Chain A
Amino acid sequence: MSSRRPWRHVTFTLGVLLTLALITVAVVSLAWTPTDPLAMSIVARLQAPSSSHPFGTDQYGRDVLARVMAGARTSITVGVIAVAIGAVAGVLLGIVSGYAGGWPDEILMRVSDAIQGFPAILAALLFTAVFGPGVAMSMVAIGIAFVPAFARLARGSVLELRGRDFVVAALALGAGDRRVLFRHVLPNTLAPLIVQATTSFPVAVLAEAGLAYLGLGTQPPQPSWGSMLKDAQNFLALSPSFALFPGGAIALTVLGLNLLGDGLRDLLDPRAG
């Protein structure tokens, strides 16, 4: 075990640092960006990186650094809300399913299996066709895709805990089902759920970028790394650097969040290591 410690330490620390950097950028961009991320300039279109525009400019002459910074906000917001939707819906589904057992369990698990057939992209296609594209749509679509994983986790924990002495004792003392579920069962499933939420976050960031790239998610002029890449694709030969910075921002963010998730899993769930 001891020989693994340093390696674990490195990945976790790196994850924390990258994630802190992401949050810092997002917070700073609320108050300050080099220029207004929405300010256009005809004379400064598609410029290569320079001292006045460290990341260059896009096809409307907007500062790419400012837009990458503002894009961090979009990623974090969509990620947090999507994971919250998936976690709340999935956990409710899972604990009800596991606690009730019998045919309600059977039905809810088939629903969970069916939702697995709808990865975020497919759910987004379905919703966008009816409600039109938008950032809210991508949060819901991504959140739904997370439901089965949270549901299985919560259900498994409930099945494991249901027969335990402290749960039986609480029931014997006259505690109601709801009290037993929320006061005794749920707190004991928290650690794996936190790990699941952390590891879902980078997946949400990737999905948000993908949906925005397809035009199904975040809409212009709101800056999103995905839609910036969609713009950049039209000018690949003219301005290759335009495609590098938003993509690099996604990759660094996801890398940081993945390392953080791996580290947390080692810390909170010794069995998984």
Chain B
Amino acid sequence: MRQYLSRRVAAFVATLFVVSLLVFVVIRVLPGDPARVIMGTEGNPEATARLRTSLGLDRPLVVQYVDWLAHAVRGDLGVSIQYDVPVGRLIMSRLPVTLPLTLLAAAFMVATAVPLGLYAATHHRRVGDYVTMVISQLGISVPSFWAGLLLILAFSVHLGWAQSGGFRGWRSLILPAIALGVFQAAVLVRATRSAVLDVMREDYVRTARAKGVPEGVVVVKHTLRNALIPIVTVAGLQVGQLLAGSIILESVFVLPGLGRLALGAITARDLPVVQGVTLFVASSIVAINFLVDLAYSALDPRLRHE
């Protein structure tokens, strides 16, 4: 077990290292001269040269990378050109929007998808199953931002129940979270259904039924508990997708989160902010996937002994 754990942790750290390398290569190496990207076409050569020196872009690439990584590991992601504020502080100031949005969407996803998937599986090849499958098929066809627009149209424009944008506390996150969660919920319904169906074909479920265990107990205790292993894995991986998806929904509902920070930074050619936000989000997704991996082996003892 300890050997398994240390291998997983080593792989995780290596992956984070590659993530940082990818971000660095795209932002600092591919453009040739990032200072010119920041200054744009109107920048004069002297100002560009001064910016190059002040950002340390005149040093060898390896030195730049090691320096940047050493600071990033300590939470120092550089200073925003646009706001003249540490990038780390900017990210922290936007997290109170992005994080609750992602978690609320994840909660919506699990709360709707697991019961629906369970219902479909226990009504396999009956009307309820087909109806649920049709609904989930429609759910994975609707882009989240269109779902957001339709919710705004229904609840803000027609009914006047909700504001159509802006951030005033967690209530402003309900509609965005639903729009964000629908697609992933539809995916999770299918995963839940097939996981439960798989377990229901097991011998021990047949045995439980044969010895007269009530159907409700068979479903909850014998089936769902074992089906949870794949369900938790899929749902966990989806949280990373939700985090990335929140970037779009923040635009639909004009929420001041990480996504809007990054989009604004692109318009302002604020490369340190883009670099910091993408590094932060990509590392978070990789970290979530790593935790899911650990949870999977914790839930399924068979994996640890391989």
Task: Point out residues on A near B: beta carbons under 8 Å.
Answer: 3-4, 7, 110-111, 113-119, 121-122, 125-131, 202, 206, 209-210, 213-216, 226, 229, 232-233, 236-237, 240, 243, 247, 250-252, 254-255, 258-259
Question: Is the beta-carbon distance between B244 and A119 smaller than 8 angstroms?
Answer: yes
Tell me the count of chain B residues lying within 8 A, CB to CB, of chain A. Answer: 56
Q: Is B37 an interface residue, CB under 8 A from the partner? A: yes
**Chain B residues numbered 253-301 whose CB sits less than 8 Å from any CB in chain A:** 262-263, 265-266, 269, 271, 274, 277-278, 281-283, 285-286, 289
A-B contact pairs, 24 of them (CB 8 A): A3-B125, A110-B11, A113-B11, A114-B286, A117-B282, A117-B289, A129-B27, A129-B266, A129-B269, A130-B31, A209-B143, A210-B144, A210-B248, A213-B248, A215-B263, A240-B153, A243-B150, A250-B142, A251-B138, A251-B141, A251-B142, A251-B146, A254-B140, A258-B140
Cα–Cα, bound, A113→B21 (Å): 13
What residues of B have a CB within 8 angstroms of the CB of A229 in the complex?
A: 145-146, 149
- Tell me whether chain A's interface is mostly helix, strand or loop, or mixed: helix
Cα–Cα, bound, A240→B149 (Å): 10
Count chain A CB atoms within 10 A of each CB in B248, B262, B266 and give the residue with the most: B266
Min distance, Cβ B19 to any Cβ of chain A, angstroms: 5
Q: Which 10 A-B pairs have the closest CB atoms?
A: A117-B282, A114-B18, A247-B146, A255-B141, A119-B244, A129-B274, A117-B286, A254-B141, A113-B15, A117-B285
Q: How many A-B residue pairs have CB under 8 A?
A: 149
What residues of A have a CB within 8 angstroms of the CB of B251 in the complex?
A: 213-214
With contacts A116-B285, A119-B285, A129-B274 known, is A250 near B146, CB below 8 A? yes
Question: Is the beta-carbon distance between A213 and B265 smaller than 8 angstroms?
Answer: no
Considering the complex, give the chain B residue whose CB is closest to the CB of A117.
B282
Per-position 1/0 for B6-19, Cβ under 8 A of A:
00000100111111
Q: Is B137 an interface residue, CB under 8 A from the partner? A: yes
Cα–Cα, bound, A122→B27 (Å): 13
Question: Is the beta-carbon distance between B149 and A122 smaller than 8 angstroms?
Answer: no
With contacts A117-B282, A237-B157 known, is A126 near B27, CB below 8 A? yes
With contacts A121-B244, A129-B266 known, is A255 near B146, CB below 8 A? no
Per-position 1/0 for B123-161, Cβ under 8 A of A:
001000010000001101111111001101100010000
Q: Is B109 an interface residue, CB under 8 A from the partner? A: no
